[in-house]
Structure 1
Amino acid sequence: MRNTIIITILLFVAIIGASLYYFADLEGEKKETLRPLTFLPKETFLVTTFKNDATTDNIFKDFEIFEAIAGRQEFEQWQTLKAKLLRHSMIQPYVNEADLYVSFHPEKETIATLFTIPTSTSMDRETISSFLKEVTSTYTVRQKDTLESRIYSLDRGGKDSVFHIVYHENIFFASFSDSLLYKVMDKHAPKLEKDEIDFFVENNSRNSPLSVYFVHEQIPRIAAHLMRRKAGHFIKLFNNLGGQSAWNLSFKNDALILSGESKTEHNKENYIELFGNQGKTSQTLYNYFPENTASYLSFAISDSDRFQKDLLALLKRRNELVQLQAQFAEMKKSKDVSFEEDIRPIFGREFALVEQSNQTELAFISVADSTKLDAFISSMATRISDSLYRLDHSNIPYALYGDPLKSFTRPFFLRVGNILVLAKYQSLLTAYQRDWRGANLLTNTLGFKNSERIQGNEANITCFVRTSASSATINNLLKSAYSKSFRDKNDFGYQDFYSWSIQIAGNNGNFQSSIYGVYKSKNALGATADWVYAFNNRPITAPQVFEHSDTSQFILIQEQDHSVHAISPSGIKLWSTVFHGRIVGEAQQLDDRSIVLVTDRNRLYRFDPEGHSLPGFSLGMDSEPTYTPTISNVGGEQLIFIPAGRDLLVYTADGKKVENWGDKQLDGKILFDIKVHSNQVFVGTENGHFYQFDAQGNLLKEEVIADSQFKNPIAITKLEQNRPAVYAIDTAQVSFTIDFNEEPKSTKLEQGGTQSLISYFPNADGIAYRMAIIDQKHLLIKNIQDNGTLFDFTFTQEINDRPQYFTDRSNNYLLGVASRKNYLVYLFDEKGSIQDGFPIEALPNFYYGKIDYNSTTYLLCVRRDRKLYAFKH
């Protein structure tokens, strides 16, 4: 399978046209004109046009994608020509209201670019000659008369740097190829057809900064021009399709998106035409594709009856239907199994073909009726091992779905839920089974998540190419000149694309189509760090930001050898020191800027922003702390409450034990932190004992929830008349509201499991109103009072870490979630939307917010190289 060739078309033709937007900074209203297009040669790979609007430069000012595709040297050359020619005051009056076209044409081992610029009024030769002499002082200008026109050649002395310009029929044509200009002026040379030009004009959006026009019959020619080997499945699907596509650009700084309409010739021999009468529908099979997927072709059917009817008609026209029917009649006779009545209803509306990075293939088919599959599987397949079978009869996949599965004549297949995975070799399914069980899937890769977020999953046909996994295949497919450009990381940026994809959906006999190129922009979050701080060992705490002085802040983080580092907002080490043990929970800063924390070696620390311990610190504790200390004013004194297993330890801010509290030993291990509200202290334990203390340490009330176990933190919520109450959820997902006056009230949560991770959104008054529940792969945000779900989200991997909370510039809370198994971190806003730029690759425990008083927002995170990265966002 050579689906990956599609990327070469995208890279070298379809998308490179967008690179010329820099010529489009011409003011004036855009007027439609057909005439310039009538001069373009028949073999035109692509045509682009853009708005003559002064805002174009601003829209695309930092759009790195264009430079990455066109090549930095070529890009600079275009900029120079634009500045010297199109921007000159002498030419401006003639092109002010003209459309600018850029087209691409094959020439030996290259693709030549043609610029077409009609003028509003005629220009005489003397004006043109005078203009060129004035603006091209760094060029040698030569003239040559041919075909009743004069070609001006601008030579700056470099290789392949001669730029040719001709003014023909009141239109400027310009190119680095003079032979292309001869074709334009030659009246006998074949040109674009009128109906092709009409389609382009009809579908050219005036609201788009760039439009692209493409004739489908050029697809095999482009493939032959770029490739040194024959085309693969995807290209062949478009053979004899006919028609054309017109796309308009949607701007996004980390993706190139072209979308529009595609019209075909309705050739009944072409497989793609089967989907013209289908409608856009959800595609889900990609959730099963292995991590080493290089490319895939995925299909989804909205109208099964219409698809079957159209497929049978296609097979009949190919004279293949009679042979297939005879084969299935024999199956009916020998095994009493009907293809139409028994086999066809088993299979669903989705199928896909996957090429892996080692160039092996897998196919995927959805199951519509698993009960019917169970009943007939032994009649149509032989069991090889657990869940692994081989079809007894040939051509079943082809008869069901047509061309994409034709090569899977009599495949092995594996059952995964309601999906069948097909392969030509048993070993491929064994390897896939390992990937599935280990969750080594495409959906767990960062690049695919970025692609999925942009392209969506609503289509009939999706062709997806993942650059990193397919680069070796692409490189081998391309002719040497294009292969060299594809590998060149200095002048080009093809390796900086996560993926390329095409999506097609039926539209009343024609098609809607879109092209997506997802780019690793240097401006994207996680791409270019403001600074990087290296450790000797793996960092083991989240970075925290504290005040350093009236004018600056600093970052605190600990690494595996227990060294604690203080880092400036610019990434410079301020100081580091080794603490006795690992920091438990989080450090906290007091009003005097001193910092309090505890370690798992029974130590309580308090030190200033310079790292100097305050008098009396550090000090030893009788028990090992189990979570973050709570620091609060209770009874008129600032106290430090430390959970330590069954013990509640209480110290003054000076490090002295508080005598009237003593050492409180509780019945059960304390659940996370201690809650303080209205001069009262609340504690919960794992075995369902809940305590209420007054400011002097006297036990006011103990409530026991019998026969329940608790694994999550408690919260303080409010009842009628602002009465505080403890809110807790046990492992059976029963919530309890305990006010220590009446019997606890319980409510069964509808969602969540026994191992759910529960946390509560922080609030300035210490009262919890909202909670986050992580149940394996699922995130739920719920209101505490009415148990209503605000939003939910499903991850591709099980989440094992509690979420983190940050505030945005409006002091709204953001929820940070780490997917440890695939090294991704997410950030959600209060409405459940993923923040722009997320997820990104990072380890759990990160920070999002300001890192200095007047700084912008930063993401501080650690990656697998044991370094702390500061990414501006």
Structure 2
Amino acid sequence: MRNTIITSILLFVAVIGASIYYFANLEGDKKETVRPLTYLPKETFLIATFHNDATTDNIFKDFEIFEALIGRQEMEQWQLLKTKMLRNTVLQPYVEGVEIYASLHPEQDGISTLFTIPTLEHVEPEALAAIVDQTGKSYSVSQKDTLGARLFNFDNGVKDSIFHVLYHKNIFFVTYSDSLLYKILDEGVPKLDKSNIDYFVDNNSRNSPLSVYFVHDQVNAIAKHVLRRKPGKTLNLFENLGGKSAWNLNFKNDALILSGESETAGNKENYLEIFSHQNKTTQGLYQFFPENTASYLSFAVSDRNRFQQDLAQLFVLRKEHEQLNRQFNELQKDKGVSFDKQIVPLFGDEFAVVEQSNQTELAFLALRDTSGWKQLASNLVSEIEGSLYRFDYANIPYALFGDPLKLFSRPYFFRIGQTLVLANNQSVLQGYRRDWEQVNLLINTIGFKNFERIQGNEANVTYFLRTRTASNLISNLLKREYSIGFRDKADFGYQDFYSWSVQISGNSGKFLSSLYGIYKSKNALGASPEWTYEFENRPITAPWVFEHSDTSQFILIQEQDHTVHGIHPTGKKMWSAVLHGRIVGDAQQLADRSIVLVTDRNQLYRFDTEGNSISGFPVRMDGEPSHAPTIAEADGQQLIFVPLGRSISVYTLAGKRANGWEQKNVRGKILFDVKVRNNTIYVGTSEAHFYQFNATGELIKEEQLENSQFANPIALGSNSAKETVVHALDSAGYLVTIDFLQEPTKRKMDTWPTDAMVVFEPLGQEDARTAYIIDAKRLIQQGLQDSGTTYEFTFTQEITDRPQLFRNGGTGRLLGISSRGNNLIYLFDEKGGIYDGFPIEALPNFYFGKIDYNSATYLLCVRRDRKLYAFKN
């Protein structure tokens, strides 16, 4: 597990340096970049430099990540320094428009920060005295001379928070550590190498609010400084790598993203050098990783031939090739199998190593030719039990892919499609197989969904650390002072980072690299509710929002004991009432604001916004409703059409049976709701019978389709003569159109699978224009007149709940999807993009929109704790 810890600490240190940007917001262009860096000690861990304009300061003023990394107390000190000193009118003319640097340096008792601020012109002694006098009015100021320079100490009475200031060679150096200033002054202390400084200057981006510079030789020094023990094998990949990296900040309020270029020393004995001549490519093995993943290293190659050549050269340089050749010569002699010609071509371009939370490891190898593997495997492996095998010959994974697989000498494995899953222990492999069969996978977790959305999967090398599953191990391996800070939730926010990760891609002998810290922002949708409403039992319907009066709206929802709650938009209870049965379908509101709904105990309800029944209600119906009622005008009056499985009951708004509408029986189960347009009523059934009734209940026409079955709602449309037609999707994937005048037409939709679940949009009595199709894990959107798909999306779990539709401003719609298998809810915009902030952990059935006339947009959802959550978007 040490490899997990080392890499996380490197990220940990890097992001501390990155966060220092918050300290400054002066204005100006880059001035004399090289000169200030030449005074920094060689042992500098990391350097950050930032643009000094008000625009970027405004971007970062609410960036929670900085405070989480630096600590609230430290941030207060830096804010004080900025406002009391740098913003002082006496000092500002000398530093306005300069570029500020912040660097991290090892100290005996920790890591110190140094701020390096060059001045536009030399500050004469008299002016310096005036600056010290003005900026020090809120401090107790003392000074002393040393090494030919004068040091000023600004003490505000807070322990360990004395600012030590040095003005030297037209540069202000500011730090909490006076010993660090002595290193600046001492010409005998080795300073940063000029070649490193030149590289940083060349890669400074004027389009980024922050740049971070890192010398790779500091990896071991950082590890030694912050860890109790020696580093593990992951860090060995970076050992003796040499070179440096320059990263620029990409702003996002729920992630710290640093991306840029890396240059190495070109040491051919270092494994990572193999990837410098690769190009970034898609990585997909993460879809197999178990839910309890603590960290993983995933690799993908774009040029397999070049990879094998470079790997072979690495074995030669390490003097390992002779041993490997002897071994594989024996294999060819014994089994007639050539490693290079027969084994290597069977394997694909991806491999990965996963550490689980219990410190066990798994490896994943992609196969290129599964049929060839089946034929050749009998010469290479032995079956242990039930599709569980073990390699007969050692070092095959290592010879195929190199260092990450070295510990998997003769592993056990089993195959999932085109992927081999390896472990050094049978029980570990059997445990993973159970996870796979039960779909306990990393990709099904809410945190990883957000990680995927931000980071993407294009790289040659990806390292990923999941904070929660590795938290205790990280804490135990850190030295005491760092462990305390890592766990301190009051002052820091390290526990609020979901993950840390690094991505590396080859770039013509060099590298492109990125670092990511995915943060659980308190301002993110689904993090901090505006209010919650607690139930005695589990809620069983979606929350609905209805009008309450001319000035306010209210929320309606039912819980498992059949109690219906009226909830104010502020989350306060207004009223509750117990219904006879569970609400079927949606509740609906009439023009007079009364609510109409049906329950599975054959009840038709109509009540006012205070929960009081309207005269004549509830009504006991002749059967159990199969869907929500349709409320529409027919024969000059508002009627309530209730589907009762294989029959229809129709009522007036007074709760009486409508004239002429004795119970109408149909062949088959009614497909969801009844459609009404222009005094004509349309019904479709599961047994392919479609009906057209007039306003008084007389049957106009019945159409029957032979050899067809239906299981989805029907929709209305219009033909070229502007006559109403019925659309329905049959179980074979055909879109059937019935106009009740001519023979029904059937059109095979290329992308529509059989037995799919479909929702037509818009809902109700309007012409349907779009269909949303759910095929197990796949979402498809397609226009009814289009031959091609508008967009597709694949989920990690099978979707069993019908999609929901929410208004998006005017006529637009947002699509809501609930993934019951992993308790995630999704919201898609009209172009198929996932709405910002989603997916979110919640139970199926939710609401997204306004909850009062003038309110912001809210997400209303229920979680496992039986509470209704209101999250402001």
Query: Structure 2-normalised TM-score?
Result: 0.99
Taking the aligned partners of 1:810 and 1:634, their CA distance within structure 2 comes to 28
Matched to 1:112, the amino acid is: S
Deviations 1:519-545 (A, max 9, x none): 011110000100000000000000000
| Shift, 1:233, TM fit | 2.3
SS in 2 for 1:316: helix
Taking the aligned partners of 1:608 and 1:541, their CA distance within structure 2 comes to 19
User: Which range is displaced more, 7-16 or 604-613?
Assistant: 7-16
Matched to 1:722, the amino acid is: K
User: Which range is displaced more, 106-115 or 538-547?
Assistant: 106-115
| Shift, 1:631, TM fit | 0.2
1:290 and 2:290 are equivalent in the alignment: yes
Correspondence 1:643-658 to 2 at 5 A: 643-658=643-658
Taking the aligned partners of 2:109 and 2:346, their CA distance within structure 1 comes to 50
The alignment-based identity, stated in percent, is 62
In structure 2, do the counterparts of structure 1 residues 107 and 133 end up closer, same or farther at CA, with 3 Å as the change threshold? same
Taking the aligned partners of 2:231 and 2:755, their CA distance within structure 1 comes to 51
Question: Which residue of structure 2 aligns with residue 9 of structure 1?
Answer: 9
| Shift, 1:56, TM fit | 2.1
In structure 2, do the counterparts of structure 1 residues 32 and 716 end up closer, same or farther at CA, with 3 Å as the change threshold? farther
Question: Which residue of structure 2 aligns with residue 26 of structure 1?
Answer: 26
Taking the aligned partners of 1:468 and 1:300, their CA distance within structure 2 comes to 26
Matched to 1:305, the amino acid is: N
Question: Which residue of structure 2 aligns with residue 334 of structure 1?
Answer: 334
| Shift, 1:748, TM fit | 2.2
| Shift, 1:482, TM fit | 0.6
Taking the aligned partners of 2:447 and 2:458, their CA distance within structure 1 comes to 19
User: Which stretches of structure 1, 4 residues or longer, exceed 4 Å deviation after superposition?
Assistant: none
1:588 and 2:588 are equivalent in the alignment: yes
| Shift, 1:470, TM fit | 1.0
Deviations 1:92-114 (A, max 9, x none): 00001211000001112311100
Question: Which residue of structure 2 aligns with residue 106 of structure 1?
Answer: 106
SS in 2 for 1:822: coil
- RMSD, aligned CA: 1.1
Matched to 1:270, the amino acid is: N
SS in 2 for 1:720: coil
Taking the aligned partners of 1:8 and 1:292, their CA distance within structure 2 comes to 17
Whether the aligned pair in 2 keeps the contact of 1:11 and 1:69 (CA below 8 Å) is no
1:470 and 2:474 are equivalent in the alignment: no
Whether the aligned pair in 1 keeps the contact of 2:807 and 2:814 (CA below 8 Å) is yes
Taking the aligned partners of 1:610 and 1:202, their CA distance within structure 2 comes to 69
Deviations 1:321-360 (A, max 9, x none): 0000000101111111111111111111100010001111
Question: Which residue of structure 2 aligns with residue 682 of structure 1?
Answer: 682
Taking the aligned partners of 2:596 and 2:733, their CA distance within structure 1 comes to 34
Taking the aligned partners of 1:526 and 1:22, their CA distance within structure 2 comes to 26
Question: Which residue of structure 2 aligns with residue 637 of structure 1?
Answer: 637
Taking the aligned partners of 1:8 and 1:226, their CA distance within structure 2 comes to 11
Correspondence 1:149-228 to 2 at 5 A: 149-228=149-228
Taking the aligned partners of 1:22 and 1:645, their CA distance within structure 2 comes to 64
Taking the aligned partners of 1:10 and 1:706, their CA distance within structure 2 comes to 68
Question: Which residue of structure 2 aligns with residue 385 of structure 1?
Answer: 385
Matched to 2:769, the amino acid is: Y
Question: Which residue of structure 1 aligns with residue 750 of structure 2?
Answer: 750
| Shift, 1:728, TM fit | 0.9
User: Which range is displaced more, 395-404 or 8-17?
Assistant: 8-17
SS in 1 for 2:483: helix
Matched to 1:147, the amino acid is: L
Taking the aligned partners of 1:227 and 1:755, their CA distance within structure 2 comes to 57
| Shift, 1:89, TM fit | 0.3
Question: Which residue of structure 1 aligns with residue 89 of structure 2?
Answer: 89
Long gaps (5+) in structure 1: none
| Shift, 1:236, TM fit | 0.8
Question: Which residue of structure 2 aligns with residue 59 of structure 1?
Answer: 59
Taking the aligned partners of 1:838 and 1:256, their CA distance within structure 2 comes to 18
1:487 and 2:478 are equivalent in the alignment: no
Matched to 1:437, the amino acid is: E
| Shift, 1:752, TM fit | 4.0
Whether the aligned pair in 2 keeps the contact of 1:586 and 1:597 (CA below 8 Å) is yes
Whether the aligned pair in 2 keeps the contact of 1:109 and 1:225 (CA below 8 Å) is no
Question: Which residue of structure 2 aligns with residue 515 of structure 1?
Answer: 515
Question: Which residue of structure 2 aligns with residue 363 of structure 1?
Answer: 363
Whether the aligned pair in 2 keeps the contact of 1:30 and 1:52 (CA below 8 Å) is no
Question: Which residue of structure 2 aligns with residue 667 of structure 1?
Answer: 667
Whether the aligned pair in 2 keeps the contact of 1:475 and 1:483 (CA below 8 Å) is yes
| Shift, 1:773, TM fit | 0.5
Taking the aligned partners of 2:592 and 2:539, their CA distance within structure 1 comes to 27
Correspondence 1:302-341 to 2 at 5 A: 302-341=302-341
Whether the aligned pair in 1 keeps the contact of 2:659 and 2:696 (CA below 8 Å) is no
| Shift, 1:753, TM fit | 3.9
Whether the aligned pair in 2 keeps the contact of 1:22 and 1:82 (CA below 8 Å) is no
Taking the aligned partners of 1:11 and 1:132, their CA distance within structure 2 comes to 37
Matched to 2:441, the amino acid is: L
Question: Which residue of structure 1 aligns with residue 526 of structure 2?
Answer: 526
Question: Which residue of structure 2 aligns with residue 453 of structure 1?
Answer: 453
Taking the aligned partners of 2:610 and 2:327, their CA distance within structure 1 comes to 84
User: Which range is displaced more, 127-136 or 40-49?
Assistant: 127-136
Whether the aligned pair in 2 keeps the contact of 1:21 and 1:56 (CA below 8 Å) is no
Aligned length: 873
Question: Which residue of structure 2 aligns with residue 766 of structure 1?
Answer: 766
Taking the aligned partners of 1:663 and 1:672, their CA distance within structure 2 comes to 17
Taking the aligned partners of 2:125 and 2:381, their CA distance within structure 1 comes to 78
Whether the aligned pair in 1 keeps the contact of 2:22 and 2:66 (CA below 8 Å) is no
User: Which range is displaced more, 529-538 or 335-344?
Assistant: 335-344
Deviations 1:441-491 (A, max 9, x none): 000001011011111000000001111111112112211111111101000
Matched to 2:533, the amino acid is: Y
Taking the aligned partners of 1:506 and 1:786, their CA distance within structure 2 comes to 42
Matched to 1:681, the amino acid is: I
Whether the aligned pair in 1 keeps the contact of 2:11 and 2:515 (CA below 8 Å) is no
Taking the aligned partners of 2:705 and 2:182, their CA distance within structure 1 comes to 90
Taking the aligned partners of 1:869 and 1:801, their CA distance within structure 2 comes to 20
1:696 and 2:710 are equivalent in the alignment: no
Whether the aligned pair in 1 keeps the contact of 2:736 and 2:745 (CA below 8 Å) is yes
Whether the aligned pair in 2 keeps the contact of 1:5 and 1:223 (CA below 8 Å) is no
Taking the aligned partners of 1:786 and 1:811, their CA distance within structure 2 comes to 20
1:252 and 2:252 are equivalent in the alignment: yes
SS in 2 for 1:81: helix
Correspondence 1:714-863 to 2 at 5 A: 714-762=714-762, 766-863=766-863
Whether the aligned pair in 2 keeps the contact of 1:23 and 1:86 (CA below 8 Å) is no
SS in 1 for 2:790: strand
Whether the aligned pair in 2 keeps the contact of 1:166 and 1:181 (CA below 8 Å) is yes
Taking the aligned partners of 2:156 and 2:175, their CA distance within structure 1 comes to 14
Taking the aligned partners of 1:372 and 1:668, their CA distance within structure 2 comes to 51
User: Which range is displaced more, 516-525 or 228-237?
Assistant: 228-237
| Shift, 1:504, TM fit | 0.3
SS in 2 for 1:393: coil
Whether the aligned pair in 1 keeps the contact of 2:90 and 2:134 (CA below 8 Å) is no
Deviations 1:160-216 (A, max 9, x none): 111100001110001101111110111111000111000000000001000000000
Question: Which residue of structure 1 aligns with residue 264 of structure 2?
Answer: 264
Taking the aligned partners of 2:32 and 2:281, their CA distance within structure 1 comes to 35
User: Which range is displaced more, 271-280 or 158-167?
Assistant: 158-167
Long gaps (5+) in structure 2: none
In structure 2, do the counterparts of structure 1 residues 153 and 418 end up closer, same or farther at CA, with 3 Å as the change threshold? same
In structure 2, do the counterparts of structure 1 residues 248 and 618 end up closer, same or farther at CA, with 3 Å as the change threshold? same
Matched to 1:334, the amino acid is: D
| Shift, 1:369, TM fit | 0.7
SS in 1 for 2:622: coil
